[in-house]
A and B are shown apart, each in its own frame.
Chain A
Amino acid sequence: METAILRDTMHTLSDTHAPEGEAAPMTAKIEARQTNVHYGDKHALKDVSLDIREGEVTSFIGPSGCGKSTFLRCLNRMNDTIDGCRVSGTVMMDGEDIYDPKIDVVQLRARVGMVFQKPNPFPKSIYDNIAYGPRIHGLAANKDELDEIVLTSLEKAGLLAEVKDRMEAPGTGLSGGQQQRLCIARAIAVSPEVILMDEPCSALDPIATAKIEELIDELRENFTIVIVTHSMQQAARVSQRTAFFHLGELIEVGDTEQIFTNPKHKLTQGYITGRFG
C-alpha cells in the first residue's frame, strides 16, 4: 500500500514539474531544484523542486511533519541555526544560488524576511522592535528617517492606529494578534523582497486571523509572500498558488483554485477533502 503511494508520488512529481517552466508566465523569484534536507539521520525533505513567483502569495499545505516548514526555512537559510541540519540541492533567488559560500547569510535574511508561528516580539519597546532591523542594517541616516521607517512599517502592517500613542510601551504587552502584526511590521521595516510566514495565525483568534489575512493580501503588492498554513481555508483565501507536501515530498503544486477544485493527485484530493491529515 505504502509503496504504491510512493510510486504514485514519484510519478506525479515528474508529471507536475516538467511543464512548470513553460506554464509560469510570471517570473520566478525563487527557484528550488532537487532540494534535500537532513536532520542528522532523518531525511526531512526529499528532492523538492519548486518555483516561487514574484508578487504572488504561495501557500504550503500538508499534514504535520510533512516538511513544509523545513522547506520554508531553507529559503532564508534559517536551518543554518539548527545543529545537525544539512541542505543539498540548489535554491536560486534572482538567479543567484543562496547556498553559494560567497553569499552572506546576513544580507540574504535582510532580503528574505520571516514571521514565525508564535509572535516573538523582542522584550523592548514597540518603537525599538521595529527600529531594530533598520538600525543593524544602517538603513536610516538619522533619527527622522528612522522614525519615518518605523511609522510606515506600522502603517503598512495596519498597527499604527492602535499603537501610535504608546510607542515606548513594551512590545510584549500587546495582544497576540497585535504582537503578530508587530512582527510583520518588524519584518517589513528592513524592506525585504520576500516575506516567509510560518503558520502566522495558528496562535491567534479568528478576528486577529482575519486581520492578518487582509494584511497579507495588501502586502502582496510590494512583497513576494510564502505562507505555511494548516488551515486549508486560509490557503484558499490568501494565496494564488498552493503547494501540497506529504512525508517530506512535494506532491503537487499549482494555482490555488486548481488545487482546491481539481487536484491532480489523489493524495492532494484526500487531504483537501479531509480524508486524512
Chain B
Amino acid sequence: MPFSFLLLVLAGLSVIAYRFGVSRARAVAPGRQAVLHSRPMYHGLYVAIWCGIPALLVAVAWVAMQPILVKGLVMGGLPDAYDALPKARLDLIWNDIRNLALGDVVRADPAPEIQAAAETFRRLYTIGNAALTVLCLIAAPLAARYAVRHVSIDLRARNRVEAAITVFLVASSLVAIFTTVGIVLSLLFESLRFFAKVPVLDFLFGLHWSPQTALRADQVGSSGSFGAVPLFSGTLLISLISMLVAVPVGLMSAIYMSEYAHRKFRAVAKPLLEVLAGIPTVVYGFFAALTVAPFIRRAGEAMGLSVASESALAAGLVMGVMIIPFVSSISDDVINAVPQAMRDGAYALGATKSETIRNVVVPAALPGIVGGVLLAVSRAIGETMIVVMAAGLSANLSFNPLDAVTTVTVQIVTLLTGDQEFDSAKTLAAFALGLVLFCVTLGLNVFALHVVRKYREQYE
C-alpha cells in the first residue's frame, strides 16, 4: 500500500474511532450526560487521537529507518570482493543498485551481482511496505480499543485532548525554529571551513577582494584574496543612499496619509503606495540598470562628472524607492496608533496642525518609526537583485556614489552561480559572507523589534 494511501486509511480509521468513542461515552452514562466529566465529543477525540497518532508515529519512524536498514542488508549481501572498495566507490555502486531497482537510467550492462542486489532491494522494499501496512492496521485499532476501554464517567478526556492539541501546536512552531537553527548551523560550519583556509582577520579587515583561485597548480591565475571590506563599504554606501531616499519620502508620505489626507484619498493612495512593495525586485533591477543608470550617467556627464555606467547611486536610488512602502506603511500604522487624546491635548493648547504633528505626534510615534526604519535597513542590506543588475561587480573601496561598487549579496550570487567546487575557498567565502549578512540583519531586526515592542507597551 503506498504511503499516502496508508495515511488516508489511518484518517478513516480515526473517524470511525471517533464515532466509537462518542457512542461509548454516551453508553457509560445513558440518559444523564451531565455526570460525564467531559462531553462525549471529547471522548470521541480522545479515542481518535489514540487511534491515529501512535500508528502515524510508527509509520513515520519506519519510513525514516527503512532506507538505512535496506542499504545495510543489500550492501552486506554483495560478494566479499566489494567490501574492500573505497567508500566513494561503494556509494556509486549503491546508486547503481538503487537506480536499477527503481527503473531509473543506469550505466550500461550492470554486473550480475549488482542486478541481484537490485532484486534484493526491490524485494526488501516490497516486504517492508507490506509489513508497515499490516503493522499500522493492527496498531491503530488496538490503540483505539485500549482508549475505548478507558472511557468512563471520570475520564478527563477534555484535558487530555487539550494537552494533545498543545503538543501539536508546539511541534508546529518548532518546525520554524529548527529550520532557522538548521540554516544558521549550515552557514556556521561552512564558514568555519572557509576560515580554516583564510584567516578571519584577513577576511573581516582585508582591503582587497579578488576571489579567483587557481584550479590547477600550473594555471595562470591569482591565488585569491578575500578582504571583504570593499564589500561591506559598498553595501553600506548603497544602503545609505537608499535610506536617504526612503526615510524622508516614506515618513512624509506617512504623515500626509495619516494626518492630512482625506479618507477617500487615503483609501486609494495607500494601497497604490503598497503596490511598490509588490513589484518583483528583478523588475526594479532592470529599471535601475536600463533607465536610471544611463540617465544618471548622462546627467553626470552634462555636469562634467565622470560617472560609471553602473553606479552605486542608481542602485541606491531605485532601492530607496522600493523600500518606501516599508517605511511609510509602518510609520503610518504607528502614527495612527498615537491616541487622539494626544492631538486633542495639543490642539486645545492652541497648537497648529503642523506644530502638533512635529512636537507631539511624531515624538510619540518615534520609537515605532525607528523600528520601521531599522526593518527597512535590514531589507536594504539583504536586497540582491537590484544591486546585481545595477551596481556592478567590481569591488572598489570607494565612498563616491558615482563609482561602481559591489555588495555582499552580489558577491554571494556570483560566487555560487555556475559550476563550482564546493570545497574551494572561493565557494566557501559565500557562506562566510552569508554569515556576516545574517548576523547584521539579525542584530538589526532584534533591535528593531525591541524598539517597536517598547513603544507598544506605552499605550496599551
Chain B residues numbered 339-358 whose CB sits less than 8 Å from any CB in chain A: 339, 341-352, 355
B345 touches A116 (CB 8 A): yes
Q: Which residues of A are found within 8 Å of B359, using beta-carbon distances?
A: 122, 132, 136
| A114 touches B (CB below 8 Å) | yes
Q: Between A and B, how many residue pairs show CB distances below 8 Å? A: 70
Residue A132 contacts which of B339, B349, B458 (CB distance < 8 angstroms)?
B349
A113 touches B348 (CB 8 A): yes
A109 touches B364 (CB 8 A): no
Closest 8 CB pairs of A and B: A110-B350, A114-B348, A120-B341, A109-B350, A133-B349, A120-B345, A123-B364, A106-B350
Residue A137 contacts which of B343, B350, B363 (CB distance < 8 angstroms)?
B350
| A151 touches B (CB below 8 Å) | no
A106 touches B360 (CB 8 A): no
Q: Which residues of A are found within 8 Å of B355, using beta-carbon distances?
A: 136
Residue A113 contacts which of B342, B349, B360 (CB distance < 8 angstroms)?
B349
25 sample A-B contacts, Cβ–Cβ < 8 Å, listed by A number: A76-B348, A81-B343, A109-B347, A109-B348, A109-B350, A110-B350, A113-B348, A114-B348, A116-B341, A116-B344, A116-B348, A122-B345, A122-B359, A122-B363, A122-B364, A123-B342, A124-B363, A133-B350, A136-B352, A136-B359, A137-B350, A172-B458, A187-B348, A187-B349, A190-B349
Q: Which residue of A lies closest to B366 (CB)?
A: A123
Q: Which residues of B are found within 8 Å of A29, using beta-carbon distances?
A: none
Q: How far is the CA of A190 from the CA of B349 in the complex (A)?
A: 7
Q: Which of B339, B345, B348, B360 is packed against the most chain A CB atoms within 10 Å?
A: B348
| A78 touches B (CB below 8 Å) | yes
Q: Which residues of B are found within 8 Å of A121, using beta-carbon distances?
A: 345
Chain B residues numbered 440-460 whose CB sits less than 8 Å from any CB in chain A: 458
Q: How far is the CA of A137 from the CA of B359 in the complex (A)?
A: 13
Q: Which residue of B lies closest to A77 (CB)?
A: B347
Q: Which residue of A lies closest to B263 (CB)?
A: A83
Say whether, besides A116-B341, A172-B458, A107 and B350 are in contact (CB < 8 Å): yes
Say whether, besides A124-B363, A136-B355, A136-B359, A78 and B348 are in contact (CB < 8 Å): yes
Q: Which residues of B are found within 8 Å of A137, using beta-carbon distances?
A: 350
How many positions in chain A have a CB within 8 Å of any CB in the partner chain? 28
Q: Which residues of B are found within 8 Å of A76, using beta-carbon distances?
A: 348
Q: A81-B344, A120-B344, A122-B360 are in contact. List 5 more A-B contacts (CB 8 A).
A: A83-B263, A107-B350, A109-B348, A116-B344, A122-B346
Chain A residues numbered 75-133 whose CB sits less than 8 Å from any CB in chain B: 76, 78, 81, 83, 106-110, 113-116, 118, 120-124, 132-133
| A186 touches B (CB below 8 Å) | yes
| A183 touches B (CB below 8 Å) | yes
Q: How far is the CA of A113 from the CA of B344 in the complex (A)?
A: 11
Q: Which residues of B are found within 8 Å of A183, using beta-carbon distances?
A: 345
Q: Which residues of A contact B (CB under 8 A)?
A: 76, 78, 81, 83, 106-110, 113-116, 118, 120-124, 132-133, 136-137, 172, 183, 186-187, 190
Q: Which residue of A lies closest to B365 (CB)?
A: A123
Residue B344 contacts which of A78, A107, A136, A186 (CB distance < 8 angstroms)?
A78
How many positions in chain B have a CB within 8 Å of any CB in the partner chain? 20
B350 touches A136 (CB 8 A): yes
Q: Nearest chain B CB to A182's CB is how many angstroms away?
A: 11
Say whether, besides A122-B360, A123-B363, A123-B364, A190 and B341 are in contact (CB < 8 Å): no
Q: Nearest chain B CB to A120's CB is how many angstroms away?
A: 4
Q: How far is the CA of A186 from the CA of B263 in the complex (A)?
A: 32
Q: How far is the CA of A78 from the CA of B348 in the complex (A)?
A: 7
Q: Which residue of A lies closest to B344 (CB)?
A: A116
Q: Which residue of B lies closest to A121 (CB)?
A: B345
Q: Which residues of B are found within 8 Å of A83, using beta-carbon distances?
A: 263
B348 touches A106 (CB 8 A): no
Q: Which residues of A are found within 8 Å of B341, using beta-carbon distances?
A: 116, 118, 120
Q: Which residues of A are found within 8 Å of B342, using beta-carbon distances?
A: 120, 122-123
Q: Nearest chain B CB to A119's CB is how many angstroms away?
A: 9
Q: Which residues of A are found within 8 Å of B351, using beta-carbon distances?
A: 106, 132-133, 136
Q: How far is the CA of A124 from the CA of B263 in the complex (A)?
A: 30
Q: Which residue of B lies closest to A76 (CB)?
A: B348
Q: Which residues of A are found within 8 Å of B364, using beta-carbon distances?
A: 122-123
Q: Which residues of A are found within 8 Å of B339, using beta-carbon distances?
A: 120
Q: Which residues of B are found within 8 Å of A132, using beta-carbon distances?
A: 346, 349, 351, 359-360
Q: How far is the CA of A114 from the CA of B339 in the complex (A)?
A: 17
Q: Which residues of A are found within 8 Å of B345, using beta-carbon distances?
A: 116, 120-122, 183, 186
Q: Which residue of B lies closest to A109 (CB)?
A: B350
Q: Which residues of A are found within 8 Å of B363, using beta-carbon distances?
A: 122-124
B349 touches A109 (CB 8 A): yes
Q: Nearest chain A CB to B353's CB is how many angstroms away?
A: 9
Q: Which residues of B are found within 8 Å of A122, using beta-carbon distances?
A: 342, 345-346, 359-360, 363-364
Q: Which of A107, A113, A120, A124 is packed against the most chain B CB atoms within 10 Å?
A: A120
Q: Which residue of A lies closest to B262 (CB)?
A: A83
Q: Nearest chain B CB to A77's CB is how many angstroms away?
A: 9
Q: Which residues of B are found within 8 Å of A114, using beta-carbon distances?
A: 344, 348
Q: Which residues of B are found within 8 Å of A115, using beta-carbon distances?
A: 348
Q: How far is the CA of A209 from the CA of B239 in the complex (A)?
A: 54
Q: How far is the CA of A206 from the CA of B346 in the complex (A)?
A: 27
Q: Which residues of B are found within 8 Å of A107, using beta-carbon distances?
A: 350
Q: Which residues of A are found within 8 Å of B348, using beta-carbon distances?
A: 76, 78, 109, 113-116, 187
Q: Which residues of B are found within 8 Å of A116, using beta-carbon distances?
A: 341, 344-345, 348
Q: How far is the CA of A116 from the CA of B345 in the complex (A)?
A: 8
Q: Which residue of B lies closest to A117 (CB)?
A: B341
Q: Which residues of A are found within 8 Å of B344, using beta-carbon distances?
A: 78, 81, 114, 116, 120
Q: How far is the CA of A80 from the CA of B319 in the complex (A)?
A: 41
Q: How far is the CA of A34 from the CA of B404 in the complex (A)?
A: 72
Q: How far is the CA of A264 from the CA of B350 in the complex (A)?
A: 39
Q: Which residues of B are found within 8 Å of A110, using beta-carbon distances?
A: 349-350
Q: How far is the CA of A136 from the CA of B355 in the complex (A)?
A: 8
Q: Which residues of A are found within 8 Å of B350, using beta-carbon distances?
A: 106-110, 133, 136-137, 190
Q: Which residues of B are found within 8 Å of A186, using beta-carbon distances?
A: 345, 349
Q: Nearest chain A CB to B393's CB is how many angstroms away?
A: 48
Q: How far is the CA of A113 from the CA of B355 in the complex (A)?
A: 17
Query: Per-residue 0/1 for B35-64: is the Cβ within 8 Å of any A Cβ (1 yes, 0 no)?
Result: 000000000000000000000000000000
Q: How far is the CA of A114 from the CA of B350 in the complex (A)?
A: 10
Q: Nearest chain A CB to B366's CB is how many angstroms away?
A: 9
Q: Which residues of B are found within 8 Å of A78, using beta-carbon distances?
A: 344, 347-348
